[in-house]
Amino acid sequence: MAVDLNFHKVIRFLLSIFFFTFLCSNSFSANFNFEKIANLKDPWGSSFISEDEIIVTEKSGKIKIINVETKELLEVQHNLNFLEYGQGGLLDIIYQNNTVWISYTENRVNWKTSTSIAKAKLDKQELNFENIFQANPPIDSGYHFGSRLAIKDNYLFASAGERGQGMIAQDPTQHPGSIIRIHLDGSIPKDNPKFYGKSDWLPEIYQIGIRNPQGLTLSPYDGKIYMSNHGAKGGDWFGEAKKGENYGWKILGWGGTNYSGSKIGPKWKPGFTKAIKYWVPSIATSAITIYKGSEFEEWNGLALVTSLKDKSLRAIDFSDLSNVKENVVFKDKIGRLRDIQVHPKNGKIYFLAGDNLWLMEKN
């Protein structure tokens, strides 16, 4: 009997430890708080330009600089030929070495638009942009522009959505539905896939088969580019950008279906890039980052994935690809999460969510 009692005590103890750990790992809300930094209108992209200042795009066409300490807000003039059309407008923005790059919906001709990229020297009064990339052909559609930017060394990576055109993402002679890699000045890298066995690909294309990729980031740990992508009705995913490969849209459905309910294709099959993590049903993935910082040091190395549909932040441990772990950090706290930035010094996290810039920090 004593042995049985001791056994049950051990089991109860282990179960209590398990549930305590489970509750702690899934109840981050008690460990941090939010502060509203600025009111905006449909903000889309952001990038720190100093320890105190962050530059933000609004889809409707404005660029603003916000001091995250004083909350002072400055509107910056610009010369972009943009069009706010459906999901399009001013999209992502990224800063490095006194230069900013922006992706945006360029107004080409007769409502035909492209996901385009321009660069400018940083000027807090007026940004004089020059185009360095246009996704061709221009298309009359308000859907699936992408588009995020990431810098690695002298390379600029960009995601270009397939504009709702489906199988165009399987055509490497057209830009929509692909990951783009160019140099920071817009010139074409000589080691892009076109010059290494993919002679029919456009020279700017790095990877094809993408639907609507709204997350793109450089990992500070392994130097790889990671991205997130909207599926259709289900089939969102988080994965790695891989040179010369194909994620399979619209041959593959990634677990999702058409909005009509009809089937698209299998979740995955050999010959196509396999994502690290899929979501079925959809969570509407948006921006991502690989966290590195001191504020939430327990998250170092994790992918932080933001969501529009369920307004959540998810932490993904993908250190073991055979056992990828996901934790919902919070849900439905500050609105639809569009962008995420980690402060370059203190590791605090800033979100564009709803019509605001938010700070998240530990209690």
Residue 301 lies in a domain: yes
Mean of pLDDT values over 186-214: 97
Instruction: Please tell me the pTM assigned to this model.
Output: 0.91
Residue 81 lies in a domain: yes
Give me the number of domains the chain comprises: 1
Residue 17 lies in a domain: no
Which helix (H) or strand (E) segment holds residue 15: the answer is: helix 2-25
Residues 4, 22: Cα–Cα separation, whole Å = 27
* pLDDT tens digits along 227-268: 999 999 999 999 999 999 999 999 999 999 999 989 999 999
Domain interval for residue 117: 34-362
**Edge-to-edge strands of the sheet including 236-240?**
212-218, 225-230, 236-240, 277-279
Residue 310 lies in a domain: yes
* pLDDT tens digits along 74-111: 999 999 999 999 999 999 999 999 999 999 999 999 88
CATH number at residue 268: 2.120.10.30
* pLDDT tens digits along 311-360: 999 999 999 999 999 999 999 999 999 999 999 999 999 999 999 999 99
Residues in CB range of 84: below 8 A, 6 or more apart: 59, 60, 61, 90, 105
Mean of pLDDT values over 126-151: 96
pLDDT(18) > 70: no
